[in-house]
Structure 1
């Protein structure tokens, strides 16, 4: 059975799968999916000025951590090449954001895996949940599933 993605909301970041991302069977190792999703989300925010530079956050919203992560694997990524990570925001709370994501073929026709990831914005001094900034909320609105 082939699983395909038809949604158009959110955004897509294309990333390479390298030889060292593969397991002994020549398939993308299960742990690498989380890394690819992380990279895609970080790239998206970095392009909008929310990142780390010189070991310091460029915005208070850059200081956040993953609280939950779930993934369902549908079929393996075989070998190296380009894949696409589509992601969106299902819900943005006061201190948390719930992303949905799908790891797909470059053209989006085949869904290899999909899942959910929850990030929590943290206060850098206390490491306790802190509210997203108004600017962060405004930026995140572009990813909201409508």
Structure 2
């Protein structure tokens, strides 16, 4: 049986979206929710301290393959999300997904199909998918 979580979510969003049904409202809400996700990550570093960012130039040997490169790349992130920060981030990412689903609805797109196509492309091209 095929997992219908995305389809169910998109259908639920179509029933719940009342105030922000205009394409202009939706695209500006996507921008806002993306900012809120970024802010929640920043707050986990600057206010909570459960995460730490130690950013520096990525260092890797000169003559390695693209596949080997993944072994040398860092996230620059130390620590783990605390329970509170995880809850906040899950909520903010959920809100962002809500408006992405709303955008798909208003444009007649299937979020499930988009995710499936992207997954197929990634599975086929792997690390060579640098678009």
- The TM-score range, normalised by the shorter chain, is under 0.3
Normalised to the residue count of structure 1, the TM-score between the two structures is 0.23
Q: Is the radius of gyration larger for structure 1 or structure 2?
A: 2
Comparing both structures, which one devotes a greater share of its residues to strand? 1
TM-score, normalising length: structure 2 = 0.25
Where relative contact order (Cα < 8 A, 6+ residues apart) is larger, the structure is 2
